[in-house]
Chain A
């Protein structure tokens, strides 16, 4: 018989750190998995595979790095991994990266996140900054210009925040508001992530749903999420009121730029946030305030991660201020929290008044924007046009034209760019266009879904080509490809008229 000693208490709750990390991992995987599916169904297998490869790269990198670290310090690598959870950092990091990032960027980012975000501080539980945030900040600073370039051009479409940044974060004209929102399929499109962006950040509602589950399971603290979302909503409402905007604004504010991703997965990271409840609430309000200020006043569209990293730095200070006996410090905590909130509201109000000089939104003129009609005569893009063949059969003139599209004009990644080949049939008796179709499409495959599509090409049918007002709707996007078609059509018309 053996009577083993252990200090009291001798029973423990079922929830363990391993369990917390497992459920967190599953939560992030749901969000990432949804987005990989989104790319598959909207852009094709290549995109989904690339997304999956990004996730795999990040996770494998993080695990390999930690195993190497453990071996270097002569620890059992498997035991080390089990108490270090590197994949959580990796998944969070890759969730903040856009689908168009090359794999080596992800590799380097995860490496930095794990080594400089976590291991150098002494591993799990010791780090000052959110490791995933460190990785993301490193990627933006190092590859900033480069990683905004895309692997394929359909997704060059700027993120909602990047567009908003250009508009100065204030749109009062209802037409401009509707135009802005339409780009991203409206407010509901923003909330459901129906646009291209970071791998884990776009579907705000899904992240929120995962978050609610995690809160109910007590994996993350609901107070932090609540304090953050409420104050961010509050700050956005102040801007809205100051600028005379409408209620869409605060809802837009909460839906974009990884705010929800950060709220559920980043500011609830226990290691890098204060330990007491009032401390965590102050932390959350601080992140909301800085995010708002960086958005409306900073020179970069994205404020969430930098705010989190900055507030991570404040965590020891907040903890020290909150030290004491909370039972007797109720008043102190109330004062601390309300003063942070008040300073925030005032700060945002003052800042917004100061940015009021930003001129109202004017639609850019130089390029056709989404949702516009473009006249045949207005096509301005340069590009080589060559007529391959021209055959007359009765009234119908069939012209085949080679026209430079995106592949030739813009795609840096294409190794052997070829122009598109388009067959145009014209009725020379009625002077109308009979049909337009591709005989060889060489711009990216994804684009083909949009351009080589009856909705777009069908518009040409029956159009009188002597009408100076003849136009087509180019709201499918992909400017270079659509204009290559229009130029080809114009060349065919010229050939017909020259007969």
Chain B
């Protein structure tokens, strides 16, 4: 097959060694945290507290509208302040609720712990919703929605591939909370109605695999699945295909899979065991634009500028600051934005000026596209504003993984062209 349509994936230099083994640094916010009030691109949560209210870690601050009725919990204890507008990592100015941190981190249970041996499926799914779980792979999709109505699910895939370069947050979270990972996986397995679960890990993570293997001795329904070190191995489609050689149209559930991120499983376990929603996050701050790349432990809502200052600052005057990894993460033009509950990394790269050459039609983008599209043809069609051709070329299938731009020897922003084509197609449909 790859003879015909190309490999559909590429090995990238991960630079993971920058942050995979050094110590996790705990960073506390400087007095204030800012809680983003959006629960999806277009849905804003309703605030349940008033200015001046005293809150503790775990106080419910707000709740999203249906169908994204996810609660937002306070990551710190302190006093509620104003609602202000700030830049959000989704590149959209968004309302943020300010909380003055008293530095005590007093904790009160948001909900009661649940024992997964006795709880039924519905209770577990309700817990997912109640705990405010949003996919920690970067997209921030509410987790419970995948489990609401599972039909014909065979296998649960816990995605610990972490294929974006620089990011080691999942890896470090798993290492830290290996027991929670297994517990969370078992809970998700029960909630999903699947027969078995796999934890997908890149095959170069020997140490973690050995430890995990030892923990899984008594759980034959959970297995480790080793994947090659390629990008985008962590994309659902690529992962499902690698495991089952099956392809699907829209959602993995069509072919019997539910895919969830490993950190999500850990968070779920902590909610179940301790009655604790996500408050602290392990986030990778890496790239050649920071002096000391490292994983930090921070309450979500902490400003990125404060974190970077705390770990030693920038290494250059002109940088790209990226919410997420360098492939899919969005570049933000300020460091005045916060870590969200579903963030996993901030990548800071020295700004480089790229001079693109004319396209020489080499077709390397076609050969590597993991969605098996023809990016160069989509770009041509976009330039010609030929919407019918764009539709025929299935620009709607693009996930903006960035491989076409990455691979382009002429350094053209191919992905951006496909993105424009995709948007033009969406506008026409409206």
Question: A: which residues have CB within 8 A of B?
Answer: 1-13, 15-20, 83, 123-126, 221, 223, 270-271, 273-278, 280, 319, 322-327, 330, 333
Contacts and interface: CB of A to CB of B under 8 A. Distances in A.
Contacts of A12: 354, 405-406, 408, 411
B17 interface: no
B393 A275 contact: no
Given A3-B321, A123-B358, A271-B361, A325 B333 contact: no
A321 B339 CA distance: 47
Interface stretch (B49-57, B115-123, B294-302, B370-378): B370-378
Nearest to B417: A7
A2 B351 contact: yes
B304 to A, nearest CB: 11
A125 B360 contact: yes
A8 B400 contact: yes
Q: Interface of chain A, helix or strand or loop or mixed?
A: loop
B288 to A, nearest CB: 10
24 contacts: A1-B314, A1-B335, A2-B318, A3-B333, A3-B335, A4-B320, A6-B351, A7-B405, A8-B322, A8-B400, A9-B406, A10-B347, A15-B409, A16-B411, A18-B357, A19-B409, A124-B358, A221-B363, A275-B366, A277-B3, A277-B4, A277-B366, A325-B372, A326-B5
Closest 4 pairs (CB-CB, A-B): A9-B402, A125-B358, A270-B362, A327-B372
B319 A325 contact: no
B333 A8 contact: no
Interface residues of B, number: 64
Contact of B377 (A2, A273, A275, A280): A275
B328 interface: yes
Contact of A10 (B3, B331, B361, B377): B331
Contacts of B314: 1
Nearest to A123: B358
Nearest to A315: B361
Contacts of B333: 3-5
Contacts of A20: 362, 409
B359 interface: yes
B360 A327 contact: no
A275 B374 contact: yes
A277 B351 contact: no
Nearest to A275: B363
Given A3-B334, A3-B335, A330-B4, A124 B328 contact: no
Contact of A327 (B247, B354, B410): B247
Nearest to B314: A1
A323 B374 contact: yes
Interface in B394-412: 394, 397, 400, 402-403, 405-411
Contacts of A19: 409
Given A16-B409, A20-B409, A325-B397, A276 B372 contact: no
Nearest to A337: B4
B138 to A, nearest CB: 12
A325 B394 contact: yes
B406 A17 contact: no
Given A275-B363, A275-B374, A330-B4, A5 B331 contact: yes
Contact of A6 (B320, B327, B409): B320
Contact of A326 (B318, B374, B376): B374
B413 interface: yes
B274 to A, nearest CB: 36
B317 to A, nearest CB: 6
A277 B360 contact: no
A3 B320 contact: yes
Interface in B176-215: none
Contacts of B318: 2, 4
Interface in B330-347: 330-335, 347
Contact of B413 (A2, A7, A273, A330): A7
Contact of A280 (B320, B363, B374, B392): B363
B241 to A, nearest CB: 10
A254 to B, nearest CB: 22
Given A1-B317, A326-B372, A10 B409 contact: no
Contacts of B247: 327
Contacts of A18: 357
Contacts of B403: 9
Interface in B37-52: none
Contacts of A125: 357-361
B314 to A, nearest CB: 7
A333 B372 CA distance: 14
B415 interface: yes
A278 B4 CA distance: 6
B165 A83 contact: no
Contacts of A273: 361
B75 interface: no
B367 A277 contact: yes
A11 B361 contact: no
A244 B292 CA distance: 74
A221 to B, nearest CB: 8
Contacts of A223: 3
B24 interface: no
B24 to A, nearest CB: 25
B363 A277 contact: yes
Nearest to B335: A3
B169 interface: no
A11 B326 contact: yes
